A and B are shown apart, each in its own frame.
Chain A
Amino acid sequence: MDLDIEDRALLAGEQGPAMKLAMEIVVQAGRIMGAERLVPVSFAHIDACFYNGQAHIDFAEYCLKHGAQFAVPAWGNNGVVSLTHPQLYEGHPDTEMVDGARKLLGLYEALGCKPTWTCAPYHIPGGPKFGDQIVAGESNAVSFYNSVTGARTNKYGDYLDVACGLVGKAPFAGLHTDEGRKAELHLATDRIPDAWKREDIFYHLLGHHVGRLAGRRVPVVSGLGVKPSEDNLKAVSTAVASSGGVELWHGVGATPEAPVLDAVFGGGGRFEMTADDLRAAQQALTTGRDGPLDVVALGTPHFSASEFRDVLSLLDGRKVRPGLRFIITTSRFVMGYLDSKGWSQALRQAGVEIVGDICSYYAPGINPMKGRVMTNAAKWAYYAPGMLPVEVCFGSLKECVESAVKGEVWRDPGLWSALQ
């Protein structure tokens, strides 16, 4: 691999053993990826702050002890515990995990990581822009930054994300290159009525279907017609990365690298989406039968300010049914915005619980979450049944909010009939 004088100095240990290890990690990864050189990056979203045992702490402590610091702005993914809601962990039996998870976040902050603690860093101003070479690891953040922002990153696993951030460079391969960003299959959605493309649920189901179809390939979706919102694009980006291993998708006229199909697609498999595909996705994401609800869980990935605004508008002054838990996870940044608008208080008064810094399907503090849960998030519906004792009813945002008020699963009578 072609390394410059600074890279070689790091490998020689001139900036200490932690920076040497970081460079060795980047070089070893680059060799496996077949990269001929490294590319400077301008931003890193760090996933290794998500506690996974003592080795995570040892690695961060090793970096800190030997004077390593991030070379570029680094923002942290959500943690295993919430620092905004410490009361969730009072009396928690697994003190090793709770203490370890807290300590890890502190270590990354000391290394220079901005304490954003969110899986939706793209909602925070000042992040990467179109064309930027960056580093990210969390699957939805990788997919959103690549697809919607038009920044360039591969999916970097734990430690490699940190190593690239410390060094300020990544192996120049895969999605960092022009060739790596071409679509390999095309899904047309022209047969789905435009009215359905105004429904938020369409984008979650589309993403689930595309992820299944694409696996780890880059897909392009055409025929979106109605201009999707950023929340819609976030829904697709997240779902393609959970039902499949998609790290970049293009939407013709909807994402920045695909003004027209030809810009990203030079040939490959062609598919046509049907109403049956949407029904099949709805079924795949639903493991429970409609009935009385225990929980409504939203915010996977972390809710945006506009999604909170939609919930408030759908609640329309009504309250959540007593006994039902309506929980929305989000970032501390968005929580600050809600406070400034007076929305936090309105949501709390309606019976909505807002929790920062964490995710609700892997969050020991939110447990026990059990029983029948409704969500509008394809990623939550995909992973939670394997991790929590829950059955999931998947629905639109309107169905989720209405169900929270009624205390049982409510189905929008006009939604699926409009698909005939």
Chain B
Amino acid sequence: MTVQGTILNGGAASGPTLVLTEPVSFWGAFDPRTGKIVDTHHPQQGTALGGSILLLPETRGSGGTPGGIAEAIRRGTGPLGIILITPDINLAVGAQVAAALYGRPCPVIAVSEEDYHALVKCERLSIGADGSISA
């Protein structure tokens, strides 16, 4: 299957999927040094996001998100690409800055709710530079 998403931050990536069941904040609830979720209230506390195509419905809005995601991409502990439903400026800006500073693209793509529910069932996904996502 292939679906077309909206590019929030451009780039190509492919890898195994990791699905977050609840929104996460990338400041305070996520440790860029390890790439792990550290929020004790999050059901997936301890899960490492590194090397994945990350799927999450939305983030918990935090102005610290760009720094959290950029630092994780710098350290190589961050996801390879991110797919979400609710467009998120903070994730897009963090990934954009990391790409400019470190030359490591991390595409951030918004998809419809229907497409999202199809994508979470896939074990691997590839994101194209044109915003297409294929299993």
Contact = CB atoms under 8 A, between A and B. Distances in A.
A53 interface: yes
Interface string B96-108: 1110111000000
Contact of A160 (B28, B41, B93, B102): B93
A348 B61 CA distance: 39
Contacts of A62: 100-101
Interface residues of A, number: 33
A25 B96 contact: yes
Nearest to B29: A386
A52 B92 CA distance: 17
Contacts of B61: 155, 216, 245
B32 A53 contact: yes
Interface in A33-51: 33, 47-48, 50
Contacts of A47: 63
Nearest to A161: B63
A109 interface: no
Given A33-B89, A55-B74, A58-B74, A157 B100 contact: no
B15 interface: no
A114 interface: no
Given A52-B64, A58-B101, A29 B70 contact: no
Interface in A18-37: 21, 24-25, 28-29, 32-33
Q: Please classify the interface of chain A as helix (H, G, I), strand (E, B), loop, or mixed, using the class held by over half of its residues.
A: helix
Contacts, number: 96
B68 A52 contact: yes
A54 interface: yes
Interface string B5-23: 0001100000000000000
B93 A159 contact: yes
B2 to A, nearest CB: 23
B68 A29 contact: no
Contacts of B65: 157-158
Interface range, B side: 20 to 34
A67 to B, nearest CB: 16
A24 B96 contact: yes
A37 to B, nearest CB: 17
B78 to A, nearest CB: 10
Contact of B28 (A21, A53, A56, A387): A387
A157 B74 contact: no
Contacts of B27: 52
Nearest to A171: B89
Interface string A239-266: 0000001000000000000000000000
B98 A29 contact: no
A158 B101 CA distance: 15
Interface of A: 21, 24-25, 28-29, 32-33, 47-48, 50, 52-56, 58-59, 62, 137-139, 155-161, 163, 216, 245, 386-387
